[in-house]
Amino acid sequence: MGKTRKNQFTAPSKRHSLKCDPEPYTALLLGLKTFEFRKNDRNFKVLDELLICEFNPQQNEYTGRHALFVITHLLDSDTLRSLPSADSFPVGFVIMSLRFVNRFTNY
């Protein structure tokens, strides 16, 4: 029998809860925004789930709207800073491509 290749898409995922202002939250739900730029303080990985929770900063409270996304691709600062034109990309940040899964109210 031949060697089995480890598939990068079978790793167990984590669920991260993140708050999001109403305008980008709506853009995510409509599919107009398909990425998230965040500080990588949670060690995000491909296939991790992001529970995006809409937060109203004027009222300083959550709206009760939530949407679940899966990270499908991730670019970290180490990768981006290796490119000649991206040496000013902030260290410790990531750009995550997202796929919509579901949305909830009062989750």
Q: What is the pLDDT of residue 13?
A: 84
Answer whether residue 50 is part of any domain: yes
Residue 67 lies in a domain: yes
Q: Is residue 96 scored above 70 in pLDDT?
A: yes
Number of domains composing the chain:
1
Domain assignment of residue 19, yes or no: yes
Q: What is the pTM of this model?
A: 0.81
Residue 5's pLDDT band (cuts 50, 70, 90):
very low
CATH of the domain at 58: 2.30.130.30
pLDDT at 20 over 50: yes
d(CA 30, CA 13): 25
**Which residues span the domain enclosing 40?**
13-105
Tokens 């996304």 label which residue? 69
